Amino acid sequence: MYQVNFSEQSMSELNQLDIEVQMPLIEKFTGLTQFELDHPKEELGRFERGGRTYYRLRAGEFRIYFEKRGDTLYSHYILHQHSLADFIFRFKLPYKEETLVEQHQSFWKYLESLTK
């Protein structure tokens, strides 16, 4: 069993979820084994970026992007499936915190208002 740490973004996302959604998500993440990390299957993917190995865990409607740091799993991002941020990170496009702002509904309303 690994120690688990969460980034600010990950904690913020978790805090917005109901406890009934949080618990299975955290349980799935904390229950990962070394064998699963070494032999990823359907729900777990592995990729290289900038010389580091990242993992993507599918947990219900969410995706947890993390890396293994010694005996710790460090969650960089928890993103909703089919979101712009998930797409950007999954396809290894440059990702900035500003992308999270773009997901907010008010951002899209603002863009629509510019065209009127």
Query: Which tens digit of pLDDT belongs to each residue from 52-88?
Result: 898 999 998 898 989 999 999 999 888 877 665 555 5
- Quick check: 98 pLDDT over 50? no
Q: CA 71 to CA 34: how far, in whole Å?
A: 10
Exposed/middle/buried for residue 32 (C-beta within 10 Å: 0-12, 13-18, 19+): buried
Mean pLDDT for the stretch of residues 87-95: 54
Secondary structure (DSSP) of 6-70: E-HHHHHHHHHS-HHHHHHHHHHHHT--HHHHHS--TTEEEEEETTEEEEEEEETTEEEEEEEET
Question: Which tokens belong to 46?
Answer: 């592995």
12-26, 74-88, 90-104: the lowest-pLDDT one: 90-104
CATH code: domain of residue 29? 3.30.2310.20
C-beta separation of 77 from 8 below 8 A: no
What range does the domain containing 60 cover?
3-114
Residue written as token pair 């978790």: 14
* Structural domain count, the chain: 1
For the chain, first and last CA: distance in Å?
A: 54
- Quick check: 95 pLDDT over 60? no
